[in-house]
Structure formats: structure tokens, C-alpha cells
């Protein structure tokens, strides 16, 4: 009888522990450093230095799913990207790998592992439009992968620093930019180097194509430059930043440029006149990234040590916080 009672007590205790574990909140416990909007507009995803990515509901601000990279690296920073219809999520991390996930279920589909012979650290990932291919950027190179098999298709070399990557809207060209200050335009199918863009600053931290595919934006130290990729000439410079510009992207219609910086918060600029149109600021202005939704309505930034913020792109007002409110 005593033994039976002891077993029941142990089962009760274990069930309570399991319930506590199941009820554990989905949240980041380290700095959020990357984010992206789901193409269909219902969700946003954030990547943190805790080795996780979290899918959030735009409507409620509640977490929907967590994607966890298993690694022995204590501060495993995660970058994120969605494919064209949002059914797949790609994460890259400092352990030198990229992981392909099924967005809705959180099921891990494939791991791309090919950056370990350098310093590892996959800092940028992208899906090739209208193709089953992905691109990962790490130290000194970018690797084009077959999404279906996980096999590498080509290694783009030419940069000597940490590489950021982007595809043109038609998927025929790619950009690689790195901390050596070099930005290279590639023909993806022929694997040939088409042009070298020199932004005039070191430490390139982000690259992005204009929706027209002919222009590209480069974020580096204290400035953003916009280039004509067909001629290799600089068409616009956005300056006046007080520290490094961490990210740059175009609005869906190409009329605006969205930037984030370590001391300047996030800004929306006119892509022709370089006039500042809107600011997205909080008590904390050290923004590591800024993303804009496919319909142009929302802006997503990091906010505090373990949270992110959703902003109204038209007014600059903050709508809600993803994560712990105390970190705002």
C-alpha cells in the first residue's frame, strides 16, 4: 500500500513538472537581431541570439511557434528569411549551419552545412525567387544550395569578410557584400561575376535589391548608398548617421528605403530625394534590423534585449510588442 501511494505521489509530481514545462512561455531570452514578415501578412518571425526563431501573430502579438537550433554555442545568433509563399522558413546561425523549416508545423526539413572550414557564422540567408535554391552568406564566401536535396551547387568567392546576400526579384542575379567593403554582383546561372560595386565605406552590413531589379542599396558605416547595377554608378547617398547602419531594404513599391542603425533607430527615406519621411524610435534606439511587410503597412524592428516591435509604416506609431514588455 505504501509503495502504491509513493508511486502515485511520484506520478503526480512528474505530471505537475510536465504541465509547468508545457506552460513555459515562448519567448526570446537574449537579444533579437533579425526579423521578417510572412509574405501573406498574418505573421512575423524574429531571430535571436538564443539560437531560436519565433513566429508571431500580427493581429494579437502572441507567439505561434518556435524554431530551435540545437547547438553548443551559447550565443547562437539567428538570421531568418521566408520563401515566396511563406511555407518555408530558412534560418542561419553562428554554428555555421542553415536550417530549412516547414513554417506551419515547425518541422525541420533539411540542414545546410558547409561553412565550417572558415569561421562558420552564417549571417545572412535568402531564398531564390521561383526556384528551389537558397543562398547562405558566411565568412569569405556565399554558397548556393539545392533546397530539395541539401547539396551545394556553387560557392561564390571574392569577399574576404562576413558576407551578406540578396537575390534580385527575378532570381537571375545575386549580391554579396561584406566587411571588406566590397559588394559583388553575380549572374546566378552562369556563376559569373558581373560587376564590383564599391560603396566607399568599409564594413558592409546589409545589401538589398530594388523591386525593379536594376538598383541596389548598400548599408555600411554611417551611410547607405544606392547603385545602378547596370552601369555600376552610384545614384544616391543617404548619410548623416551617427553610427553603423545595420540593415537596409526597399519598400514593396520601391518608393522608400528603410534603414536601422546602432544609434539612430529606424528611418524611412524617399528613395529618390533621400528625404527622411518617417522615424521609428523608442527609449532604446540601438536597432539591429528593420523589415517592412509585403503590403507596406507595417515595420518590424528589434526592441530591447529580448523583444521586437510592430510599427505603423504610415504614422511611425508603435502598434505592439512581440515578447516581454519589460524590455521595451
Per-residue pLDDT at 264? 85
Per-residue pLDDT at 235? 93
How many whole angstroms separate alpha carbon 74 and alpha carbon 89? 23
Per-residue pLDDT at 285? 66
Q: Per-residue pLDDT for 301 more than 70?
A: yes
CB crowding 144-167: b at 16 or more within 10 Å, else e: bbebeebeeeeebebbebbbbbbb
Counted residue by residue, the chain has a size of: 328
Q: Could you tell me the end-to-end alpha-carbon distance of the chain, in angstroms, rounded to an integer?
A: 55
pTM: 0.90
Whether 175 and 166 have beta carbons less than 8 Å apart is answered as yes
Q: What would the mean pLDDT of 301-308 be, rounded to a whole number?
A: 90
Per-residue pLDDT at 13? 42
Write out pLDDT tens, residues 26-64. 999 999 999 999 999 999 999 999 999 999 999 999 999
Whether 125 and 115 have beta carbons less than 8 Å apart is answered as no
Binning pLDDT at 50, 70 and 90, where does residue 118 land? Answer: low
Q: Per-residue pLDDT for 312 more than 90?
A: yes
How many whole angstroms separate alpha carbon 216 and alpha carbon 224? 10
How many whole angstroms separate alpha carbon 192 and alpha carbon 176? 13
Amino acid at each position: 500500500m505504501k509503495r502504491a501511494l509513493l508511486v502515485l505521489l511520484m506520478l503526480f509530481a512528474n505530471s505537475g513538472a510536465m504541465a509547468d514545462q508545457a506552460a513555459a512561455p515562448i519567448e526570446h531570452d537574449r537579444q533579437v537581431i533579425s526579423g521578417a514578415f510572412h509574405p501573406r501578412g498574418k505573421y512575423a518571425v524574429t531571430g535571436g541570439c538564443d539560437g531560436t526563431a519565433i513566429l508571431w501573430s500580427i493581429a494579437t502579438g502572441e507567439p505561434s511557434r518556435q524554431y530551435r537550433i540545437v547547438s553548443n554555442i551559447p550565443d547562437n545568433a539567428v538570421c531568418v528569411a521566408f520563401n515566396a509563399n511563406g511555407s518555408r522558413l530558412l534560418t542561419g546561425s553562428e554554428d555555421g549551419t542553415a536550417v530549412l523549416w516547414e513554417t506551419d508545423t515547425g518541422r525541420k526539413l533539411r540542414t545546410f552545412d558547409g561553412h565550417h572550414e572558415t569561421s562558420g557564422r552564417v549571417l545572412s540567408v535568402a531564398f531564390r525567387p521561383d526556384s528551389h535554391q537558397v543562398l547562405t552568406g558566411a565568412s569569405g564566401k556565399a554558397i548556393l544550395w539545392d533546397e530539395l536535396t541539401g547539396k551545394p551547387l556553387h560557392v561564390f568567392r571574392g569577399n574576404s569578410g562576413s558576407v551578406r546576400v540578396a537575390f534580385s526579384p527575378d532570381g537571375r542575379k545575386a549580391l554579396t557584400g561584406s566587411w571588406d567593403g566590397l559588394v559583388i554582383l553575380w549572374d546566378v546561372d552562369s556563376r559569373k561575376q558581373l560587376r564590383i560595386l564599391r560603396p566607399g565605406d568599409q564594413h558592409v552590413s546589409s545589401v538589398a535589391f530594388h523591386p525593379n531589379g536594376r538598383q541596389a542599396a548598400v548599408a555600411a558605416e554611417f551611410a547607405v548608398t544606392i547603385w545602378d547595377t547596370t552601369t555600376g554608378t552610384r545614384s544616391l547617398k543617404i548619410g548623416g548617421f551617427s553610427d553603423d547602419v545595420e540593415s537596409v531594404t526597399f519598400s514593396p513599391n520601391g518608393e522608400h528605403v528603410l534603414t536601422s542603425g546602432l544609434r539612430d533607430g529606424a528611418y524611412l527615406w524617399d528613395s529618390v530625394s533621400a528625404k527622411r519621411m518617417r522615424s521609428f524610435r523608442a527609449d532604446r534606439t540601438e536597432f539591429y534590423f528593420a523589415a517592412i511587410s509585403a503590403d507596406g503597412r507595417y515595420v518590424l524592428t528589434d526592441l530591447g534585449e529580448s523583444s521586437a516591435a510592430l510599427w505603423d509604416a504610415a504614422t511611425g506609431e508603435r502598434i505592439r510588442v512581440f515578447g516581454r514588455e519589460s524590455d521595451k
